[in-house]
Amino acid sequence: MSNASTDAGADLVRDLVDANHILYHQGIVDAFGHVSVRHDRDAGRFLLARNMAPARVQAGDILEYDVGSGEAIAPNPPRLYLERTIHSEIYKARSDVMAVVHNHSPAVLPFCIARGARLRPVCHMAGFLGGTGHDGPALFEIRDHAGLASDLLIRNRELGAALARTLGRSRVVLMRGHGCTVVADSLPVAVFRAVYTEVNAQLLLRSLPLGEVEYLSAGEADATRVTNEGQAARPWDLWREQARRSRHDDHAQ
Amino acid sequence: MSNASTDAGADLVRDLVDANHILYHQGIVDAFGHVSVRHDRDAGRFLLARNMAPARVQAGDILEYDVGSGEAIAPNPPRLYLERTIHSEIYKARSDVMAVVHNHSPAVLPFCIARGARLRPVCHMAGFLGGTGHDGPALFEIRDHAGLASDLLIRNRELGAALARTLGRSRVVLMRGHGCTVVADSLPVAVFRAVYTEVNAQLLLRSLPLGEVEYLSAGEADATRVTNEGQAARPWDLWREQARRSRHDDHAQ
Amino acid sequence: MSNASTDAGADLVRDLVDANHILYHQGIVDAFGHVSVRHDRDAGRFLLARNMAPARVQAGDILEYDVGSGEAIAPNPPRLYLERTIHSEIYKARSDVMAVVHNHSPAVLPFCIARGARLRPVCHMAGFLGGTGHDGPALFEIRDHAGLASDLLIRNRELGAALARTLGRSRVVLMRGHGCTVVADSLPVAVFRAVYTEVNAQLLLRSLPLGEVEYLSAGEADATRVTNEGQAARPWDLWREQARRSRHDDHAQ
Amino acid sequence: MSNASTDAGADLVRDLVDANHILYHQGIVDAFGHVSVRHDRDAGRFLLARNMAPARVQAGDILEYDVGSGEAIAPNPPRLYLERTIHSEIYKARSDVMAVVHNHSPAVLPFCIARGARLRPVCHMAGFLGGTGHDGPALFEIRDHAGLASDLLIRNRELGAALARTLGRSRVVLMRGHGCTVVADSLPVAVFRAVYTEVNAQLLLRSLPLGEVEYLSAGEADATRVTNEGQAARPWDLWREQARRSRHDDHAQ
């Protein structure tokens, strides 16, 4: 599983490969979606697979990109993700962010489509969706930036920068008619947040029909985030083991 | 995996076999449902399996049919799909159509049953459901053509032609109490549309209870369709690999 | 796979074993639920497994029962299903019935719990739920027969006879707070009906929130039932193959 | 599968390992959640795994704890579950309880979040949720005990004791924004109750939109509980076999 395209630590490359597989195995990405991590030796670069389905990513598919331009570092790269500026512009705007996940996870999408729906935290695993100064992810409406006839994709740096402005200091931003983007200061926490954004969304979808819902208070959201993200290694380890075992059974190379 | 029943390209036959398996593996067809492709050397013929569950189709099960009559070309064919005129009459009416999928996919059916429900696109993967001149699939009501006591099936050319008229220039037509039919100018795009019609339906079913929903504008629907269907090879490749691996595990020959 | 407990045809015993596995694999039964078939050489007897989970039934677990008493024929039988009189009293009341399925399938149960909910057919695979003289299954309320403090089970012949009277000439009867019982003139059709009662229930649960629903007319229900039940071998063959393959993978003997 | 950390019966340790795997395989626990059993030779001790995902628990991971303190008996134990006082304080308050399950099962959580929602029994497998003197589980609101900015976890004996008081003589207590805790006089019954609390919750979520729901009467709840929990070995045996087979396929040691 060698990778000649980057001088980032081999552990970081392997974790990024695992993150791709975990997100697929947990139902957060399907044929589409992507995850990146900032380079561990140069904050001006980040790692992201070439344009391919996350389930099939291997170490040799990981490329280095330039935060400034969103382009691959190496000359004549293979086909790149059209929406790579989601990642580069967030790394540019947020020096605290070390990992970014973009996905179309199925229970989150209704909150990107129903006007006025708020994806605020209702369970202790999803405190990061709220907290002091946070009241559920903001909604990025691409019509405000690309008019009424776009294909909804973040196709260039300008749209990536607009998305990063909507994200602000938050951990999650919703993208109308499209999906969401999740950020964190490490890959395990970014993957944790992507999974539990979906879990919280599933829970809210099931709870709202029963009546008025009790959301976490700002204090509860902050306290649960600190507690649970301090333990992010535990679900990461389990999910990684499950994803690896599933791939083994699937005869993937 | 030889097939003596057709002189169509071996690649086309193999793609049709894969399409059957992908649609099954993606939950779009079950024991019922079928997919066809127009012959690559003679626009007056098309390929469709004999009457059997899609999951079990192999190259030797693919037969050639006549667009004009809807009948198998070879004499003494095995049992044919009762609803083969869904395919033949659409190929007759639409020279642009190269592939047809008929299915009873579970989230689409509510839109074929609830009066007034419109399956309009809400996410960027399903733009083909809308666009300029399109506002969600039309509903084919068989009572208008076969009276109040039919078995709801497209049993002959007249009913197939009526369905094709309801489809018009659209990409999808809903069939009340029955399912839907999806068309495209290639097998990968037809399969893509069948899968994402179901995904869009699932999303709408989850979103409508949250309040008013934001649909794609006509411009967004057209732009997303062009972008995503230009990339249809990517999900096709992943789904085909998954379906083949699943069949291998199922010990099918 | 010998079975010394019955002189019924070996094919019938094997089909009953397969029916148990199909119903489990299709999600219609879990640890609970059971399926029987009338003896092919003596209408006064029927075959039913001993008291065990359907997933684990093998030919050696099939016992013969007496329609009149609901008891096992052989002396010193293993533990029997507590609710065997569901089967015996239906065979007694309905000379046309050759197979009986009792289950707690998950989408049907809401229709056994919500007052006034009617499980009428909305799709062409479930016509048997309606038709001339049929307007959705009746609901058996055990309080009318066993008072307010029963354990809801059909524990004796009197309750079995009461259930059979509620079933009447129908194909399905709902049992409040409990599940349903499905009958047919063959095992493949009984299994087909059990599966598509669940499918129709899932479809209605998803459709009712969208607005007014179009049910099959009585004529459509009768016509679709005749057409689809004439083809019941096709899903039966596919489901049996899938259930056998799944059991093989599960290392069952 | 030796275990040097306890002198409890080897069968009890093996059953606790199986309970962990069953609860994972049945979707009741995921990376989080835990199950314990009171020591069979000393009512002042109980068995619980070290802090790890239930799916991966083996006999060597089972530790002994002291009911009085909630601490591990052995010196220098591995990392312990933060919420072990859920178990110890319930064993302290309830001499009848021999097993405790804590989980975040997905259909139960809406009843821990929607104000006024009551998880009362609607099907015969869930009578234990009701009965004479019981009318659906009570809701533990941690704000009443730990203020408005807690992380919602039962972090110490005081909070464990408060939870035990809310549980009272019941079999299940709901924990707002968090999950639930289920108790019984044996491991098979505790696991049965955890599974069927989730099943009853799923059923209620699907039924409430259809209209007014018929709950079990107190007499029915008591009678069904006695009948079904007397048969708890049957689902336990099936689930254990399925969980073991699944683990074997997953190449776990």
Q: Following DSSP, what letter does each residue of C81-126 receive, concatenated? A: PTTHHHHHHHHHH-TT--EEEEE--TTTGGGGTBTT------SGGG
Predicted pLDDT at D31: 87
- Which residues of D are less than 8 Å from C115 in CB distance? 211-214
When CB atoms are compared, the residue of B206, B238, B245 closest to A110 is B206
| pLDDT value of residue B246 | 85
Q: Could you give the count of Cα atoms lying within 13 Å of C136 in the half-sphere of its Cβ?
A: 16
The set of residues, in sequence order, having a beta carbon less than 8 Å from that of D85 and lying 6+ positions away, is D70, D154, D155, D156, D157, D159, D160, D161
**Lowest-confidence region among C246-250, D68-72, D183-187:** C246-250
Q: What is the CA radius of gyration of chain B?
A: 17
Q: What mean pLDDT comes out for the span C215-244?
A: 94
Contact A177, A112 (CB under 8 A): yes
Looking at residue B3, its pLDDT comes to: 53
Alpha-carbon D194 to chain mean position: 6
Q: Which residues contact A193 (CB under 8 A, 6 or more apart)?
A: A101, A128, A171, A172, A182, A183, A184
What whole-number distance in Å separates Cα of residue B15 and Cα of residue B187? 8
- State percent of chain D over pLDDT 70: 96
- Using an 8 Å Cβ cutoff, are B251 and B55 in contact? no
Residue D43 contacts C where some CB pair is shorter than 8 Å:
no
pLDDT confidence bin for C252, thresholds 50/70/90: very low
Split at pLDDT 50, 70, 90, the class of D6 is confident
Neighbours, chain C (3 or more CB pairs < 8 A): B, D
Of A93-97, A140-144, D232-236, give the lowest mean pLDDT range: D232-236
**Structure tokens that stand for D239 in this block:** 């689930």
pLDDT given for residue C3 in this prediction:
53
CB D201 within 8 A of CB D129: no
Residue B17's nearest CA partner among B42, B50, B52, B54 is B54
Write out the two tokens for A28: 């957060």
pLDDT number for residue A252: 40
Is C210 in the B-facing interface, judged by CB distances under 8 Å?
Answer: yes
Q: What radius of gyration do chain A's Cα atoms show? A: 17
- Supply the mean pLDDT for chain D: 94
Q: Is the Cβ–Cβ distance between D29 and D103 less than 8 Å?
A: yes
Q: How many separate helices (H) and strands (E) can be counted in chain A?
A: 7, 7
Q: What pLDDT is recorded for position D135? A: 85
Chain D residues touching residue C106 (CB < 8 angstroms):
199, 202-203, 206
- The whole-number average pLDDT for the span B210-228 is 96
Other C-beta atoms lying within 10 Å of the C-beta of residue A44: 12
Question: Using DSSP, how many helices (H) and how many strands (E) does chain C show?
Answer: 7, 7
Q: Please provide residue B248's backbone torsions phi and psi, each rounded to the nearest 5 degrees.
A: -60, -45
Q: What is the mean pLDDT of residues D144-152?
A: 97
- Which of D116, D150, D251 comes nearest A245 by C-beta? D251
Q: In Å, how far is B44's CA from the nearest CA of chain A?
A: 35
Q: Do B153 and C227 touch (CB under 8 A)?
A: yes
Concatenated DSSP letters for B61-94? GEEEEETTT--BSSSS--PPPTTHHHHHHHHHH-
Stretch B135-163: mean pLDDT: 97
Q: Is-contact C56 C250, C-beta < 8 A?
A: no
Q: Which of B64, B83, B198, B229 is catalytic?
A: B83
Q: Position B130: which residue type?
A: G
Q: How close is the nearest chain C Cα to the Cα of B239, in Å? A: 20
Q: What is the pLDDT of residues C21-53, one digit of tens each?
A: 999 999 999 989 999 999 999 999 999 999 999
Say if D213 is an interface residue toward chain A (CB within 8 Å): no
Structure-token match 């799909």, residue found: B81
What's the pLDDT score for residue B252? 40
CA distances from A253 to A5, A55, A249 (A): 19, 12, 11
pLDDT at C234: 85
Q: What amino acid is encoded at A79 in this protein? A: R
pLDDT of residue D90: 98
Angle among Cα B62, C240, C31 to the nearest 5 degrees reads 145
Cβ distance A35 to A184 under 8 Å?
Answer: no
The secondary element (H helix, E strand) that includes residue A225 is: helix A218-230
> B148 to chain C nearest CA, in Å?
6
pLDDT at residue A178 tops 60: yes
Q: What is the H or E stretch that residue B198 is in?
A: helix B187-207
Percent of chain D surpassing pLDDT 90? 89
Q: Report whether A134 contacts A144 (CB < 8 A).
A: no
Per-residue pLDDT, averaged over A158-163, amounts to: 98
Write out pLDDT tens, residues D53-85. 999 999 999 999 999 999 999 999 999 999 999
CB-based contact D118:D134 (threshold 8 Å): no
pLDDT category at C246 given cuts 50, 70, 90 is confident
- Counting as contact any 3 or more CB pairs under 8 A, the partners of D are A, C
Cα Dmax for chain C:
57
Query: In Å, what is the CA distance from D237 to each residue of A225, C25, C53, D56, D202?
Result: 39, 18, 9, 20, 23
The mean pLDDT value of chain B amounts to 94
Question: Which residues 6+ apart lie within 8 Å of D159 measured at CB?
Answer: D85, D142, D145, D146, D153
Helices D233-249 and D10-25: crossing angle in degrees, nearest 10, is 80
Is the CB of C80 inside 8 Å of chain D's CB atoms? no
Q: Rounded distance, CA D83 to CA C182, Å?
A: 46
Helix (H) or strand (E) holding A37: strand A34-38
Interchain proximity B220–A149, CB inside 8 Å: yes
Residues of chain A with C-beta less than 8 angstroms from the C-beta of B234: 31, 51-53
Report pTM: 0.94
Chain C contact for D195 (CB, 8 A cutoff): no
Q: Which residues pair with D158 in a beta bridge?
A: none
Contact C56 D238 (CB under 8 A): yes
Closest CA to C102 of C115, C114, C89: C89
Give the whole-angstrom CA distance, residue D90 versus residue B157: 71
- In 3D space, the residue among A77, A83, A85, A87 whose CA is nearest the CA of residue A36 turns out to be A87
What pLDDT shows up at residue D247?
73
A195: pLDDT strictly greater than 80: yes
**Which of the residues of C are catalytic?**
83
- Residue B114, SS3 per DSSP: strand
Say if residues C42 and C1 touch (Cβ distance below 8 Å): no
Which single residue is written with the structure tokens 């009546």? A211
Would you place residue C1 in the very low, low, confident or very high pLDDT band (cuts 50, 70, 90)?
very low
- Count of CB atoms situated within 10 Å of the CB of D138: 15
The total of other beta-carbon atoms located within 10 Å of residue B83's CB is: 22
Q: What is the largest CA-CA distance in chain B?
A: 57
pLDDT at residue A1 greater than cutoff 80: no
A11-68 confidence digits (pLDDT tens): 999 999 999 999 999 999 988 999 999 999 999 999 999 999 999 999 999 999 999 9
For the cut 60, the answer to whether the pLDDT of residue A234 exceeds it is yes
Contacts of B11 (CB under 8 A, 6+ apart): none
pLDDT tens, position by position, B1-54: 445 568 889 999 999 999 999 999 999 999 899 999 999 999 999 999 999 999
Mean pLDDT of C118-144: 96
- At A231 the pLDDT is 87
Residue carrying the six token digits 């006034």: C116
pLDDT of residue D1: 43
Q: How many Å apart are CA D104 and CA D153, to the nearest integer?
A: 12
Q: Is the pLDDT of residue D5 over 80?
A: no
Tell me what the mean pLDDT of segment A119-141 comes to. Answer: 95
HEC string of chain D equals: CCCCCCCCCHHHHHHHHHHHHHHHHCCCCCCCCEEEEECCCCCCEEEEECCCCHHHCCHHHEEEEECCCCCECCCCCCCCCCCHHHHHHHHHHCCCCCEEEEECCCCCHHHHCECCCCCCCCCHHHHHHCCCCCCCCEEECCHHHHCCCCCCCCCCHHHHHHHHHHHCCCCEEEECCCEEEEEECCHHHHHHHHHHHHHHHHHHHHHHHHCCECCCCHHHHHHHHHHHHHCCHHHHHHHHHHHHHHHHHCCCC
pLDDT class of A3 with cuts at 50, 70, 90: low
pLDDT for D251 beyond 70: no
Residue linked to tokens 């010990």: B251
Element (H, E) at B102: strand B99-103
* Mean pLDDT along residues B163-183: 98
